[in-house]
Amino acid sequence: MSASVDRVDPAALATARAWLAQDPDEVTRAELASLITAAEGGDAAASADLADRFGTRLEFGTAGLRGRLGAGSNRMNRVLVSQAAAGFAAYLREKAEPGETPLVVIGYDGRRNSDVFAEDSAEIFAGAGLRAVLLPRLLPTPVLAFAVRHLGAAAGVMVTASHNPPDDNGYKVYLGGADHGSQIVSPADAEIAAHIERVAKTTVVGDMPRGAYELADEAVVEAYVAATATVAPAPAGAAGMNWVYTAMHGVGYETLTSILQLAGYPLPVVVEAQIAPDGRFPTVAFPNPEEPGAMDLSFATARDAAAEFILANDPDADRLAVAIPDASSPEGWRRLTGNETGLLLGWRAAKRARASAPSQGAAAGASLACSLVSSPGLQTVAEHYDLDFHATLTGFKWISRAPGILFGFEEALGYLVNPETVRDKDGISAAVAMLGMIAEAREHGETLADLLDRFAATFGYFQSGQVSLRVDDVSLIGRIMAALRSAPPAEVGGVAVERIDDLLAVADAPSDAGDVPPSDVLRLWLADASRVIVRPSGTEPKLKVYLDVRGDSASDAAERLARLDAGARDLLAAAQA
């Protein structure tokens, strides 16, 4: 039933009309004009839609901006991006030395409007008196992260929503100089957000000065290709390698191909339907290799090709998925978990560190790092090779800042293997490192599955799991966390809890928590060396519970994980009671 006209919020309509008046995009202008007309005519759904679009604003934080495309302050669009660019420009000018002209490099992927948002940003940066350099075409996020350092830029912006749904886009921000091309962290996020808020309140888009930007030379891309090819030049074992690759409708393949040719690897059999950039993502419901069904076409292609393994990038190529044959799986293949891949790549980094400094065991101060919720197996690897270890909050903005980092990863398929050139997760350099590992194993008649077995025999049988509780009322998450703090569990899955780290009280956390700011995380250490971590999701209305065990064998680890999973579900149920 339609609402009456007098129930339309006049303030919301006024805000929408003001937004419409400054929107330079014909598509979102038409979309918003239609909504305003419908709301004025008493359409309750249109009024609710306007309230959702203008009732709040996409929050600029350490992950930049990310949200659905569409008109309104709570959507990704040209108005919001222009305000963000103008605010970020003001921040960079404020931080610049007197007489300095900060350089900003801008990249974009193949999502809808990525190129438009990038060009708007470049023009606004230039109009604000900055030197703005736009990458020459749609490229992977790691190329932008590389370009910030390579060009000596003060900052970088990548227009991407990574592996989000097709209707999303985003705005990821990097800082150069002392930040070495890492993503922003606090307090920079709040300072930039304050500038954006001021711009939004005082300046309409049409009044923002615009200037001429530069187009980056192909030499920037060539430099990234050359640097990444050195991660693992092809050994003799690469000859005849038969493998499958998918770009997941993203931008990874062109750059990867150049690196493979330079490094000496055979080109893969590609998933044809997913190899070209396509922001509609027509063959997947969700363009994330972790999602069920996302790699089905890869599995089918690999079966037809009798491939040895599969590598997959997400749409902006900052993540890597790996799959191997598995006769026990209905598809005949299984994707390795992010922890399995991360531990293999961490092992590779540690062995290389020892080889480079055999008398010390490893270079002094060199370290491996991972997020707090990633496998504790990486610490075991670090200790075995006399390396430092750092656990950080989730996100490569933290991992990349670990002192002396040689390698870092997080369980969500993110890996930093080449910190001297890219201080962010990089699915392309990780793919090259993985190819190197596999090729070296082939020289000894081993497969990737054999490497996993060898890792377990050396360091232990680590297994990880996750329990997620999705809620309609986000306040329930806070109540569960409060309940766990007020009445901590004595056991989980029948195993006694020996210690609980509450990372809201960082001063009480042990040193292996890393140098982290307060965070809403509870970490439970159990008597059998298992670990349970409880934290709210940073991007979804979910409470996440991460489970880690170490067994004496694969079957023992699987049994421990099953008990811990059941115990974690009981723990969440009790906390809601």
What residues are annotated to the active site?
Answer: 162
How far is residue 516's CA from residue 510's CA, in Å, rounded to a whole number?
Answer: 11
Q: Are 449 and 308 in contact (CB under 8 A)?
A: no
Structure tokens at 254: 């062109």
β pairing state of 155-159 and 168-175: antiparallel
Nearest residue to 237 via CA among 264, 202, 205, 272: 264
Backbone φ and ψ for 116, nearest 5 degrees, come out as: -65, -45
Q: Is 291 helix (H, G, I), strand (E, B) or coil?
A: coil
Tell me how long the chain is: 577
**In which region does residue 265 sit, left (phi positive, over 0), alpha (psi from -120 to 50) or beta (all else)?**
beta
Three state DSSP letters for 156-194:
EEEECCCCCCCCEEEEEEEECHHHCCEECCCCHHHHHHH
By CB atoms closer than 10 A (0-12, 13-18, 19+), residue 99 is: exposed
Residue 150 neighbours by CB under 8 Å, 6+ apart: 220, 223, 224, 421
Q: Please give the single-letter amino acid code of residue 121.
A: S
Contact by Cβ (8 Å): 131, 142: no
What lies within 8 Å, CB to CB, of 534 at 6+ separation is 481, 484, 521, 522, 523, 524, 543, 544, 545, 546
Q: In a 3-state reduction of DSSP, which class is residue 64? A: strand
> Could you tell me if 393 and 372 are in contact, meaning their C-beta atoms sit under 8 angstroms apart?
yes
Lookup: tokens for 311: 């590598």
